[in-house]
Amino acid sequence: MIRVMSVVGARPQFIKAAVVSRAMAQTGAIAESMVHTGQHSDFNMSQVFFDELRLPAPAHHFDLGGGTHAQQVGGMLPVLESVMTSERPDWVLVYGDTNTTMAGALSAAKLAIPVAHVEAGLRCFNPAVPEEINRVVTDRVSSLLFAPTATAVNNLRAEGFTESSVRLVGDVMYDAALSLSSVAERTSTIAHETGLDRGDFILVTIHRQENTDDPEKLSAILDALQALAADIPVVLPLHPRTRQRLAELGRSGAGRDGLKLLPPLSYFDMLALLKRARLVATDSGGLQKEAYFFRVPCVTLRAETEWVELVERGWSRLCEPVSAGIVVDCIRKTLSVPLPSEPDTADALYGSGKASFNIAQILVRETERRNSLPNACRS
């Protein structure tokens, strides 16, 4: 059996791992061991996803969240090194662009264990963004680069990666959306419970450091949402970091002005609201794509995005939240323009919904290829 150690720690990684883990199990050739760093340890950001997505309990579960970036990554490295040294997997599989991603990749690379990176090649080209650093470092030490889009492949080629290491597989989040949206419709009651079952509302998520840790930007976003809420309902599920920052600004009671604040939502509840929303405003990478999957226009509350194809095709509008007026104007303009003309499916951008299957099959084939080589040639 091929031994794959999957390293996860944050909400988006649980969703991606759910579909990839299922595909690996279906090969009958891969035995997976999952490590949860605890980067997200809050129940609504972690355990609810394991329960809802029927992910098996991690073989190793730590509590390594909190602190600065250096403290978080520094705490993860020796723990992950110990687990990998003990188990010596054939592959370490990492997802996305979090501190967990980079720590997992670095730990494996230092032990000469090959790394496979899901969502390789994404770039926003702003080195001040923590996630960009994580992406670049992870890609550089990975042996297999699972690119979700042609743009990601081109980025990797431009950086000099060998063709044999780069594989265009499609987007695993598209897999999840296709396979799980109908389940969300059957099981989620969030729309009815919140009175949003008729639709016509704005769904907002804010969690990235450049917004939450900048009081002026966070205040501008909140002021804009409160202004918009006078005309159309605005729903904001609060990431724990965002809730803490609002409390520090003395604005934890923001919902009194018509803005509906919710706790972090499960994946099914988020899908249920997303499909009913009139517009999404977010700084999340994943939600930008999910909005596109269900043809919901999106305002991306950042100066740049790694999902550039959505901006180029008119499905996402970039809006750096430097003032409330700018955010309000951007959202109102987006609400007033028609949606772009697009095919019925997202296949052209994000694959055919078989990214997880592609990843599992490549891991099997690549392991067989590596095992046929002399030890000195396995790299």
pLDDT digits (tens, 9 = 90+) for 26-49: 999 999 999 999 987 665 556 787
DSSP E strands: which ranges in the chain?
Answer: 2-8, 30-36, 60-61, 91-95, 115-118, 144-147, 166-168, 202-205, 234-237, 259-262, 279-282, 298-300, 316-318
pTM of the model: 0.92
Q: C-alpha angle 118/124/125, rounded to 5°? A: 120
Tell me: the pLDDT tens digits for 56-68?
Answer: 889 999 988 888 9
- pLDDT the model gives residue 40: 74
Does residue 282 contact residue 288 with C-beta atoms inside 8 Å?
Answer: yes
State the burial class of residue 280 (Cβ atoms within 10 Å of its Cβ: 0-12, 13-18, 19+).
buried
Comparing 258 with 313, the larger pLDDT belongs to 313
Lookup: tokens for 175: 């897999």
- pLDDT the model gives residue 274: 96
CA-nearest of 112, 172, 143, 140 to 369 is 143
CA-nearest of 76, 75, 83 to 58 is 83
- Please name each of the domains of the chain with its CATH number: 2-170+354-377 (3.40.50.2000), 183-348 (3.40.50.2000)
C-alpha 351/C-alpha 362 separation (Å) is 16
Q: What is the DSSP letter of 252?
A: T
**DSSP per-residue codes, 48-117:** HHHHHTTPPPPSEE-----S-HHHHHHHHHHHHHHHHHHH--SEEEEETTSHHHHHHHHHHHHTT--EEE
Rounded (10°) angle between helices 99-110 and 130-140: 20
Comparing 371 with 276, the larger pLDDT belongs to 276
Give the other-Cβ count within 10 Å of 326's Cβ.
Answer: 14
- pLDDT the model gives residue 259: 87
C-alpha 102/C-alpha 137 separation (Å) is 7
Q: Which residues are catalytic?
A: 207
For residues 336-343, give the mean pLDDT. 79
Torsion of CA 302, 63, 22, 187, to 10 degrees: -70
C-alpha 377/C-alpha 94 separation (Å) is 23
Lookup: tokens for 1: 């059996």
Q: What is the DSSP letter of 164?
A: G
Tell me: the pLDDT tens digits for 208-239?
Answer: 999 999 999 999 999 999 999 999 999 999 98
Tell me: the pLDDT tens digits for 181-205?
Answer: 999 999 999 999 988 888 899 999 9
Task: Give the chain's mean pLDDT.
Answer: 92
Tell me: the pLDDT tens digits for 352-370?
Answer: 899 999 999 999 999 999 8
Lookup: tokens for 170: 């499609």
Lookup: tokens for 266: 């499960």
**Widest Cα–Cα separation across the chain:** 68
C-alpha 233/C-alpha 277 separation (Å) is 10
Q: What is the DSSP letter of 378?
A: -
For residues 285-297, give the mean pLDDT. 94
